[in-house]
Amino acid sequence: MLRSLKQLFTELVALPAQPIEPHELEVISAALLVQLAGIDQQVDSSELETIRQHLSAVFKLDAAQIEEVMALAHTRADASTSLYEFTSVLNQGCTPEQKVQVVRELWKVAYADGQLDRYEEHFVRRAAELLYVPHQDFIRTKLEIQAQ
């Protein structure tokens, strides 16, 4: 019994990432970042600007596309009930390196207003856990962004 469970787990872990439609990935990642920006009940304009910069740099979106994605992201973030609905999609379609990049972007938003709220740190920690990002990468990305 234990051997068959171990084999099943090994097979599941070895499954390749499922591709996500690019627009869906844009909205999901932005929604996760928007949800983080509002976790301390104060959405700062610098946090929103950091999200816009992320969309521009990573997805090569123009200003109109960024605003469209931001509107969809706010809607998705407001309607969400947990981090899992975002992280599960990212787990299906992202490589381990891309997941570390998501955590890095979360830290950028968390530090965008110049202070790290305990709820923001908890949010990033929980997201990293749900994305199966190793703790060493969680800490490394935090220290990189903190130093900037």
Residue 42 CA to chain centroid, in angstroms? 19
Residue 9 lies in a domain: no
**Total structural domains in the chain?**
1
pTM for the model: 0.81
Residue 138 lies in a domain: yes
Domain that holds residue 32: 21-147
* pLDDT tens-digit readout, 51-101: 999 999 988 999 999 999 999 999 999 999 889 999 999 998 889 999 999
| H, E, C per residue of 104-138 | HHHHHHHHCCCCCCHHHHHHHHHHHHHCCCCHHHH
Residue 5 lies in a domain: no
Residue 14 lies in a domain: no
> 40: domain CATH number?
1.10.3680.10
Residue 11 lies in a domain: no
